[in-house]
Amino acid sequence: MTQSLPTDLPRAITPEEIAAYERDGAAVLRGVLPMAWIEVMRAAVERVLKNPGEASVEYTPKGKQGRYYGDFFLWRRDPAFKAFMQASPMPELAAQVMKSRQLHFFYDQLLVKEPNTAEPTPWHQDLSYWPVRGEQIISIWAPFDAANEQSGVVVYVKGSHKWGKLYTPATFADKSGFAEIYAKAGLEPLPDIEAQRHKYDILCWDMAPGDVLIHHPLTLHYASGNRSATGRRRGLALRYVGDDAVFDARPWTFLENKKVMANLPAITLEDGEAFSGELFPRVWPRD
């Protein structure tokens, strides 16, 4: 059924949008995700929510209202997620923004916040969690609902990708299994951005279905809980790596999280090697 969906970008990414991404570390791209894909992905998200995977995390504590659900590497178990990262306009978008000849898929991460969910996504930078080095590394945050600050759209500290900092990864929830791993990384503690928001230039966009956000792996970002009483916030982050990205074998990344890695093939990449293999397929150019 995904075969009849559009693969081409509805429009080219403009030089101004690329310049904003490079300068600010994040940008909004309006009207780049066709509605047909959103519908397919809404159905795919429902499948996952009804049948949570082994790597999934319920970030909302039991007994509290709302639901903050996180899951990883969905493309490995659901054909719609695989089609979305491979055959939707998203790889072309990533290649254009990063000016990359080739792309490999790194992983996908589903983050759903149902109405009345209090739990925020803490301020963090992605790169400190990841076994990757390079500049051509991008996240596309694709919401399948309208999203705004009230419902927990992702917001960014403008220009923070240029601070030259790699901060200690934040843990999304106490029992997620990550805290012990990240404490060992020996990185600089994150500043308390939430408590001092006035000191930072925060980028925040209202999103309509069809819009996506893009961000650099060093850009600090956050999302509030979903304070809407009715509006869901279903977001999927797609991570792509381009020509200059290589495997970084440093310890204390998410690879050491047994829950995430349990059902994935073993990674045999050496430090400094380009991404390849079954777990990190080439998705651009399309064969």
Give the interface size with ligand AKG as a residue count (CB under 6 A).
Answer: 10
Contacts of 129 (CB under 8 A, 6+ apart): 169, 182, 253, 254
Phi, psi dihedrals of residue 97, rounded to the nearest 5°: -65, -45
Rounded to whole angstroms, the Cα distance separating 151 from 116 reads: 9
Residues in the chain: 287
17 or 126: CB nearest ligand AKG = 126
Residue 85, classed as helix, strand or coil, is helix
Q: How far is the CB of 4 from ligand AKG (least distance, A)?
A: 29
Out of 24, 114, 119, 126, the residue judged to bind ligand AKG by CB under 6 A: 126
Least distance to ligand AKG, CB of residue 3, Å? 28
Residue closer to ligand AKG, measured from CB, 69 or 280: 69
Site for ligand AKG in 148-167 (CB under 6 A): 154
Shortest Cβ 1–ligand AKG spacing (Å) = 26
Q: Which amino acid is at 142?
A: A
Q: Is 237 in the site for ligand AKG (CB under 6 A)?
A: yes
Q: How far is the CB of 204 from ligand AKG (least distance, A)?
A: 13
Residue among 131 and 235 whose Cβ is closer to ligand AKG: 235
Distance of closest approach, residue 57 Cβ to ligand AKG, in angstroms: 12
Q: How far is the CB of 238 from ligand AKG (least distance, A)?
A: 9
Q: Which listed residue (221, 242, 252, 253) binds ligand AKG by CB under 6 A?
A: 221
Q: Which of 121, 125, 100 is nearest to 112 (CA)?
A: 121
Contact between 168 and 190 (Cβ < 8 Å): yes
Question: Cα separations (Å) of 225 from 70, 76, 155, 177?
Answer: 13, 28, 12, 21
Which of 252, 254 has the CB closer to ligand AKG?
254
Determine which residue in the list 96, 117, 128, 139 makes contact with ligand AKG, applying CB under 6 A.
139
Q: SS3 letters for 241-286?
A: ECCCCEECCCCCCHHHCHHHHCCCCCCCCCCCCECCCCCCCEEECC
Residues 96 and 13 sit within 8 Å (Cβ to Cβ): yes
Residue 235 interacts with ligand AKG (CB under 6 A)? yes
Q: Is 127 in the site for ligand AKG (CB under 6 A)?
A: no
111 is a site residue for ligand AKG (CB under 6 A): yes
Interface residues toward ligand AKG, by CB under 6 A: 111, 121, 126, 139, 141, 154, 221, 223, 235, 237
